[in-house]
Structures are given as structure tokens and as C-alpha cells.
Structure 1
Amino acid sequence: MDIVIKLSQFLLSLSLLIILHELGHFIPAKLFKTRVEKFYLFFDVKYSLLKKKIGETEYGIGWLPLGGYVKISGMIDESMDKEQMALPPQPWEFRSKPAWQRLIIMLGGVTVNFILAFIIYIGMAFVYGDTYINNSDLKDGIWVTNPAIEKAGIQTGDKIIAVNGKKMDHYDDIAKNLYMANEVTIERNKEEKTIKFPINIINKISNSGVKHSLVEMRIPFIVSGFEKDSPNATNLKTSDIITHFDGAPLNYADEAVARFKNHEGKTVPITIKRGNEIIQTTLKFNNKSKSGVAYPQRIPYSNIEKLSLYKVNRQKFGFFESFPIGIDMGINGLIDYGTQLKKIFNPKTEAYKEVGGFAAIFNVFPDSWSWEAFWSITALLSIMLGVMNLLPIPALDGGHVMFLLYEIISGKKPSDKFLENAQMVGFVLLIALLLFANGNDIYKAIVK
């Protein structure tokens, strides 16, 4: 059932982005009286799952979910329709339109992607508001849960002050910024210091073997379950909080790793909090110093509030207030993705090894349905799709825009033969990138 929910979110998001992107080309093409022969969600290689011709345009759904397209008459695109291009230009064809109209048609897709992202962020600000914990409230610092971050120099108990010079006001901002960190300013033992991260930190995080977690809030040792044959399943219950171990306070779960060592075969007195009760009991260890008691690294904000661990701030925004908030979220998304691309194109960072394909996108979606997560991921993917399509690679929108700008500036239009060859080179590059990204997914699935 989990995979069905993930797949449903993945396909819905992908379909929405593709249809709206292609609509961005379709609408200006129609406005400028340019014939659109096909409008397809997914690719219809050899055959289509569904198709219907309305007027001069065939609308359909292909079987290959690698994207979508609009086929515009008189345009050198992925269809490579040389027969049409060999005929004299017709008034309804793309090639017959002024350069400025062709430029608007080509920029329509990415324009819609960026507008969509901002609209989603504005809507999320209005509907969900902002829920956060002030970084300053983490009096005893953070819990380092990824060994790559620890090796880089961050320790459990450190207070993260800034990442790459940007102050971390909210706890939620820390993890996503650490992933792209060059330097981190921390406070340790009331002393502030700056730690330089290795240039290939992204690759080190990926190779750490720990997924989806870099640092967490420090939380108490809350019993979340028991391993098979645990000697403590009879005297402890889930949701019990171990507050003292061997007579000394156990404030945080991360302290248990060191405190539980070297107790092979021993029975140690502990104090637990069960609801409003304080209970004295024991914790038994087997011959490998294992208690068989599981505890979480992360708990929902609702539980954090219930246990009064940290103050959870909830801020609601009015309709007009949501616009600057959403726009700011969109701008930050663009800046963050631009930073990622810079790292990917810098071989020293080894970030190119983490480039993922469809499997990576699929795995971003949660196992349980969450509209908030769905819209947040869709907005980010819309930004990614817009930026990627603007890359000056022939066969992408950015490649067409590059040649159109050359035409507008120089007054000379590249020959159809040149455009056909450029389109073919771009298509080969895209296939290579697609194989590389999805090959990375396969490699990670097999090796990692």
C-alpha cells in the first residue's frame, strides 16, 4: 500500500508539471495563430494509450512516462520532421512567425513552471502557515545523527549558529543548509568557532549509509518498541520515558549510546516516567550489552508539544500576507537549486555522483499521503524543471532560446540544417544525461 501511495503522488505531480509546462508553449502558440499538431502527456513512441483529435490538434496520453510534448508545425524539435521542413514555409508555421513571437512561445513552458512554484508557495503559506521551533530554544544544541557530519567536525551538543554565513533562526533550516555547507559557525562550551566542511561533503553524506537525517533535536529516551527476545519487554511499555540510568539523570536519548556500553549481563536501576507516574524499575542487558529497547531519533511536533520538550510556534497568514511569504519561499528555492547546480558542475565536490533520475524523484515522496508534502515537493520540482529547461542545450527550451536570441541580436537566422544538427547533438546529450542520472539510481540501489 505504501508504494501505491508514493506512486500516486509521483505520477500526479509529474503529470501536473508536464501538462502545465506544455500548456505554457501551447497557449502563446495559439495566440500567435501557430498550428499545434499534438499535445501529449508522456511520449507516444509507436502508439498511444489514449488520443483524440479536436480541431487541428491531437490530444493524447503516451505510454512512456519520461515527459511530454507539444508538436508545433514548422519547428525543428524532437520529432525531426524533415519532410515538413523541406516544404515552403506556411503562415501558420512556427518558422514563419517573427523572432519575438517564437521567443515567447519557447519561454512559455519555463515561465509557467516558475509561476506555478510561486503560486504553490503562496497557497501553502495561506493554508498551512508556518510551524517552527526557534533554534535558540535548543539550549543543549543538536543531535548529530550522520557520521559524515560528525567527521566534518560537528558534535552532538553543538549549537548551530550559521551555515555559509546565513544565520539559522529556525531549527528546521539547519539540516537542509548543512547538506550544502561550505562552513558552519557553531557554539561549543560557550565558545564560538567556524568549521570548514570538506568540498565533497554531499558525497560523504551519501556514502555514510544514513538516509534522510543529518542532525535532529535532542529528545528524551522515549521507548518506541522492543527487539525480539528483549529482556525488558515485560517491565517497560512503549511511550515510557527513561529519565534516570544507574542513579544519574538521562536527559537525552543520544546520551544512552555511551551510557549503555560495558553493561554485559547486568541489571541496572532506572527511573521511568509513564504518563503522570514516576516508576522505579530496572534495565537488563544481555551478554552483548544490548537492552533490546528501541527509541526514536525524531518525533512529530504534536508529540513535542504534548511532552513540553520545546515551544512549537504556529504562525498563520492572511490572504494578502501570504504573497510576500510565498514569493520569498520561491526565491529561496531558486537560490538553493542554483547552489546545488553549481556544486554538481564542480567535479571537486563529487556532487555529480548524487544526481538522480526518476527513482530519486519517486523516493522523495512520503509513504503516507500528505497534501502539504505533495505541494511542497511539486513546487520544488517545478523550479527544477524550469531551471533545467533553461539550460542552453539544443533540444531543451534553453537551446531554442539561445538560437532565437542570437537571431534577434544579429539579425541572422541559423539555417535549418544547422538547427537540425544542433537538435540531434542536444538529443544525444539529453539521452546521455538521462542514462547517467538513472544509472546512478540503479548503482545506489544495487551497491548502497
Structure 2
Amino acid sequence: MSSALIGGLGLAGLIVLLVLRVPVAFAMFAVGFVGVSVLGSVDSALSLLASETFTLSSSAELVVIPLFILMGNIATVTGLSRKLYDAAYAIVGQVRGGLASATVVGCGGFAALCGSSVASALTMGKVSLAEMERFRYDPRLSTGSVAAGGTLGILIPPSTGFVVYAILTQQSIGRLFLAGVLPGILLALLFILLITVISTLRPDLGPVGPRTSLREKARALVAALPIILIILMTIGGIYGGIFSPVEAAAVGAALVILTGLITRRLSLADFWTAVRDSVMTTATVMLILISAHLLNPFLALSHIPQMVGGFLTGLDIGPYGILALILACYIVLGCFLEGFAMLVLTMPIFFPVITGLGFDPIWFGVLVVLSLEMGLISPPVGVNCFIVKSVAPSVPLRTVFIGILPFWAMMLVALVLLVMFPEIALILPDSMIG
């Protein structure tokens, strides 16, 4: 039996395990370990498992994951994340679709704290869906804005998606964080533009919210000032070269904890809950990364990446045609696979092709992460849609999926703009890091 055939059977087995709802990390571990054992030896598979586990567990760069996750969890339990929404609500809530726009702004701000799309959708959904229901927003617009706004968590830095991409491709986490800023702002503005247009054409979908006085606006901004300053200090510290991403994560987590203690909003029970959730999320990410580093050697031994790369480069469609085909694969796979699973499965295959074509790997990382965002709201898997459904159990899942379709189209527009104008993603890392 040829190595390519064994590799194909391994990938088929992986897909079957994922369809059977076997956790991604365990599915990749099983296929990678068995595959390396068959194409190499059991001893080599055991040696690889031990070495990769130790290497990843001792990687200083990965410390950003638990620290930023802890930062977001503390902000949630102390109510700091709600302050972001309240400030956006006070400023734009009185215009048509303003509550939905405030939700997008709040999701963007919270994304700059936790780097998690699921956490952004869950947190903002809890604080905004009840308000939009109270002011008779159409469920399609309200749930769509929460599900789509939550996806900003994987693009606006700090992003766990960028961290995983950086580890898999040996790229700079700092450059990737910088590259995600303008695309994240662009996507948020496209979402707000969409909400404004929909609410203008169909006033019944996004009614006018309550007016707030200048004093009320100022009060809301002052209340949100601590969390805004923390965001500016941590993310701005990275951009200004004051902190490394790891140092910024530590500073941000410490400041959020300190703010919670000073304001007496952080109890010991809340702190324990935030730490426990952070450990569980971090362990999940680490298991996926360790399993990926076991699966990738199996794919290399099977020569499947080289075969797929040769097939793609042999197509007479030009470099951008190949790029479009790869991005289309991500969009389709996003309908069935979880984002991290897509990254670890496809990077060994597609990344050599992209670098061989001369495309910038940082720019490609932004395109990939944006494609992963699209998968987060794509049926039938659409994790963020299920998160929103759990927060709004009275809204049918079909309504949620209908509501996200216009936002999904805006994400496709953003993807096309980034392909046409790579400078949107590259201008900050090229000018600030070089």
C-alpha cells in the first residue's frame, strides 16, 4: 500500500471521526499517531508525541493564550464588558438600528480584550439581545448582529486564531496582530453600514432607540473609561513597541484584575470561575496544537501536501486563481469544521503553495482568519449561531441563520477588498515593525 493511499485513508478516517462528533484534538491525535506508526514506527510516533508536547508546553509565545483569555473572562464577571456596550448604546442607540450597531461596537471592543469570537458573541448576546427585544427589534437583525459582531473576536487582536496560525507557520505574532487591526475595523464598519441601510429601508426591523442626553453619554463614557484605557494600554503597547504580545497579555490581565479589586466587583468566587474557564479553554487549544504537530508529520510522510501543491500549481488559472480556490475551500470547509480544525488540517497543505507563489504569509494569515470568521456563522455548523440561540432560546435557529446572511455577504465583501488591496492588512506591520 502506497504512502499516499495511507495518507488518504487517514484523512478519510479523520473526517469520519469529526462527523461522529469525536473532539477535534482526539481525532487528530488518533489519526496522526496511527499514521506515523504505520508509515514510520511506533517508537517514532511515541518519540514525536513526547518531544512535541514538551516543545509546545514550554513555548513562551503561547503564554498569550491563557493570559488574554483570563483577561476577557475577568472583564465578563466584573461587568466591565457591559460598560463597553452601555457606552456604545448611549452614543448611537437613538438612531435607527442603533442598538444593533452598538452591539457590533461592543463586540469589537470586547474582542480587543479576549480574542475569542464565542466569548464575544456570548457576552454581548447576554447584554444586548434583551434590550433589542424590549425595543421591538426584528429577531433576524438582533440575532444576526450579535452572531456576526462576535466574529470580530477572531480578527481584532489579540486573536487566538492569529496565535495558532503563527505557531503553525512560524510567523510573527506581533506582525499578525498589527495586520488584523484595519481589517477588523473595516469589517465592523461594513456591519454598521449594513445595519444602517437595512434599518433605513425597513424601519420596522431596527426601530429608533431611546434618546440620551449629553450628560448621560458622558456618564456612560466615564463608566467605560477603565476598560477603554486597559485596551489602549495593552494593544497600544504592542503597536508602540513598548510590550511584546506576551508582556501585553500579562499587563492587560493584571490591570483587569486590579480594576475588579479596586471597584470591588471581583469576588473570590468570580475569580475562581474566570480562572477555571480560562484553564479549560487553554487546555483545549493546547490539545489541538499538540495533536496538530502529530498529524502534520503523518501528512508529510504521506506526501499528500506535495501532491496537492503540485496539482494546484499545475492548474492554468494563475496565482490569484489558486488563491481564490484555496479561500473557497476554507469557506466551504467552514460550513462543516471548527476553525482551529481547519487551520491545523490545511496549513501543511496550503501554506507551502502560498509561499511558493510569492504571496505574503502575513496577508494570507489575515485572509485565512477572515475565512474562519465566515465559517463561524455558516450553516449548518455556525458555532456563533448556536451560541446566540442558547442566549435567545425563543428565537428559532432558522431565524438566526436567515439573519446572518446579509452579514455573511459583508464578510465576503471584506475578503474581496483585502485580496484587491493587500495594503489594508500590511500597512501597519510594514510601517511599524518592518
Q: Which is helix-richer, 1 or 2? A: 2
Which of structures 1 and 2 has the bigger CA Rg? 1
Judge same fold: TM > 0.5, yes or no. no
Alignment TM-score, normalising by the size of structure 2: 0.28
Alignment TM-score, normalising by the size of structure 1: 0.28
Bigger RCO of structures 1 and 2 (CA < 8 A, at least 6 apart) = 2
